[in-house]
Chain A
Amino acid sequence: MSTETGRESRRSGVLVDAMRWMENLSDTQYAYLLLVPVFILLGVVALYPLLRTFELSLYASSLDLAGRSFVGIDNYVQLFTGGKNRFLPGGTTFIPSSLSLTALLNSALVVTIIFAVVSVAFETVIGLGQALILDQDFTGRKWVRAAIIIPWAVPIVIQGMIFFLMFNSNVGFATPPLADLGLLAPTNTLNDTASATFIIIVADIWKTSAFMALLILAGLQSIDRGLYDVAKVAGASKWQQFRLITFPLILPTIGVAVLFRSVQAMRVYGIIDTVSSCSVVPSLSCMVVATFNTREGTAAAIAFVTAAIIGAAVMGLILWQGEDAI
């Protein structure tokens, strides 16, 4: 007890009072008190900007706040009817002008969805393969795992630089063989929309498959090993074991991982900016960045549509997974 009073007396009276006040709070009061820093940070950097973005999207584009005029949902209407296309860089449209591949890839909305769907599909398959490898016991497993994780940890700008250098028209060695196969345009590859989209998808698969692999690996390792012993005794082959035990049990994990990754993939920006340019591969985030300095109303509307699509996907996840998603 003597040390206790000694320590207390060294503190100033205000601090002691504050401590005593804190000790006497109920659990609920104490919980909300500790959450104040989180509320302030998320309020300033997330909630305020989100509301503000929505507000900006309802006004005509003008950086002079005094003279701005309320236009309601006109920005959204024009975005979906093509009235805003002239503000977007390059020949970009928001909604595709026709159903040809060129028109689809020139549409900010469609190219973002294509990117997300294709890259996540390949990442899931490759990630599953990597996870099945890492689930085995073998010497050097730790090093193989490190090697597979490393691309995930590579900064986006360096990931972009790698693929820029691989397909660049001056030093890129990878363009000629792939152009021979008809996959890429032989010249001006990184400024060709279809080729650049292909390269960016490959770059994303290279970097993020490892992330998928780790999530799926967690699912694999939670499977009861006894099930495999039973299967072996029953004479099931390795393929049957995978099809009848492993796959059904990791399917929920894969579902969560796919939705989580799709949400991330919808934000794609940095890799496009480094490898190619936003006027060649017009993702939604790209369009926000390209227009927000001059056409903030348009930019805000695009940003909010992006958020809404992602929000819908997340609601789907929560409804589907229920309480487990949290």
Chain B
Amino acid sequence: MATTTDHNSSEGPLARWTQSAIQNPEKVYRALFYVAMAFFLVTTLFPFYWLLVLAVTPSGNLLAGSFLPEINLFGVSTTFPLPVPKGFNPQAFITVFEQVPFHLYMLNSFALAVTTTVIVIVVASLAGYVFGRLRFPGRAFLMLGILAVSYFPPAAFVIPLFQAFAGNAPITLPFTEIPLFTPPRLLNTPGSMVLPFSALFMPLSIFILTTFYGQIPDGLEDAARVEGTTRLGALFRVIMPLSAPGVATAAVLTFIAVYNEYFFSSIMATSTEAARWSPIVGGILSYQTQYTTQFNLMAAASIVGVLPVVILVIVAQERIVSGLTSGALKE
């Protein structure tokens, strides 16, 4: 511990520290370690501090003067290297909900994320069971196909999907004029977002669940089947509960992915009205377009919008780490 405190004090202790460091290189590594850790902590957390500074600055003071105050350090006038709030007024955290119904946008995001997560978990469980526990011809090929889908950019899907969800013309079989059916108009409804989200984020869950379901001993499934459970019953009553950590991992990652998604969220909700299912993307952007000078509101809305995922990361970090490392490396 002494290494870090001694680091930037006067000449004497520094010389002594250098002496002992030469004799003991371990100390240098320790010091380097703490410096690097502090650097990473500051760089990752600083942007949130900046949001807070902006959010509590009263709107009248936003454009006056600099956020980097001039300070007098031992008689020398210098610029303080950290932005500090110009005044203090937490009113912005209430105003964000009054000017734009930000809680409704968040509710939309939650509804979309939960629906997608449920669909993904059910469908990916079936696929995870198949890939994790059954041997059949075509298994490797199918897994490769699902993997390939997850690599394609959303831009490669968006044009036909947008046209289909607009519901103006019947869907035709690709490369022919044979009409199949006319889809209902899905733009500005949850369907137009949940469908692409599910396809986009399903592969990761399939790979996570394949790993977890594959680890359940065959004996447990056999025992359940001898007891008279059906094949599907064994999956949902035995294998899935035993793999609860894996299911939780896939669910948390899917939820965060949907909550964070931008591409389809901004395109499939053609207006930024909360009543037309626009998620937080629309909410935050409407501050940027409608209230161009109310930077404190943009910052406050961003803080409110980021809180759910921050809490999720702190509560479920073990799951996130294991999911990203087991699933994403495979992907």
Question: Residues of A with Cβ closer than 8 Å to B?
Answer: 4, 19, 22-23, 27-28, 30-32, 34-35, 37-38, 41-42, 44-56, 65, 126, 129-130, 133, 136, 142, 144-151, 153-158, 161-166, 168, 170-171, 173, 206, 210-211, 214-215, 217-218, 237-238, 253, 256-257, 260, 263, 266-267, 269-271, 273-274, 284-285, 288-289, 292, 296, 299-300, 302-304, 306-307, 310-311, 314, 318, 326
For A35, what are the chain B residues with a Cβ–Cβ distance below 8 Å? 126-127, 130, 142
B4 at the A interface (CB under 8 A): no
Residue contact A158 to B206, C-beta cutoff 8 Å: no
Residue contact A171 to B174, C-beta cutoff 8 Å: no
For A289, what are the chain B residues with a Cβ–Cβ distance below 8 Å? 155, 158, 267
Contact sample, A vs B, 26 pairs, CB 8 Å cutoff: A22-B230, A27-B135, A28-B136, A31-B130, A41-B123, A46-B199, A48-B171, A50-B157, A52-B174, A56-B159, A65-B169, A126-B40, A136-B33, A150-B313, A151-B47, A153-B312, A155-B262, A156-B260, A161-B288, A161-B301, A162-B51, A165-B298, A170-B63, A274-B288, A292-B162, A303-B158
Stretch in B9-17, B93-101, B241-249, B302-310 touching the partner: B302-310
For B50, what are the chain A residues with a Cβ–Cβ distance below 8 Å? 162, 165-166, 173
Residue contact B309 to A269, C-beta cutoff 8 Å: no
Q: A35-B130, A155-B259, A214-B325 are in contact. List 8 more A-B contacts (CB 8 A).
A: A23-B231, A41-B123, A41-B195, A42-B202, A45-B157, A156-B260, A256-B329, A303-B156
Chain A residue with Cβ nearest B135: A27
For A211, what are the chain B residues with a Cβ–Cβ distance below 8 Å? 324, 328
Interface of B is mostly: helix
Residue contact B324 to A214, C-beta cutoff 8 Å: yes
B317 at the A interface (CB under 8 A): yes
Chain B residue with Cβ nearest A309: B153
For A4, what are the chain B residues with a Cβ–Cβ distance below 8 Å? 228
Residue contact A310 to B280, C-beta cutoff 8 Å: no
Residue contact B40 to A129, C-beta cutoff 8 Å: yes
For B293, what are the chain A residues with a Cβ–Cβ distance below 8 Å? 170
B60 at the A interface (CB under 8 A): no
Cα(A238)–Cα(B32), bound, Å: 12
Q: Given A148-B40, A150-B310, A164-B288, check contact A170 B134 (CB 8 Å).
A: no
Chain A residue with Cβ nearest B55: A165
B129 at the A interface (CB under 8 A): yes
Chain A residue with Cβ nearest B145: A42
Residue contact B199 to A41, C-beta cutoff 8 Å: yes
Residue contact B325 to A217, C-beta cutoff 8 Å: yes
**In angstroms, how far is the closest chain B Cβ from the Cβ of A54?**
8
Interface of A is mostly: helix
B331 at the A interface (CB under 8 A): yes
B212 at the A interface (CB under 8 A): no
Cα(A271)–Cα(B263), bound, Å: 10
For A37, what are the chain B residues with a Cβ–Cβ distance below 8 Å? 122-123, 126
Residue contact B313 to A153, C-beta cutoff 8 Å: yes
Residue contact B306 to A155, C-beta cutoff 8 Å: yes
B185-199 near A? 1/0 per residue, CB < 8 Å? 000000000011011
Q: Which of B63, B143, B156, B295 has the most CB of A within 10 A?
A: B156
Residue contact B306 to A158, C-beta cutoff 8 Å: yes
Cα(A247)–Cα(B139), bound, Å: 34
Residue contact B127 to A171, C-beta cutoff 8 Å: no
Nearest first, the 8 closest Cβ-Cβ pairs linking A and B are A270-B262, A218-B325, A45-B199, A52-B160, A51-B174, A49-B157, A156-B262, A49-B160
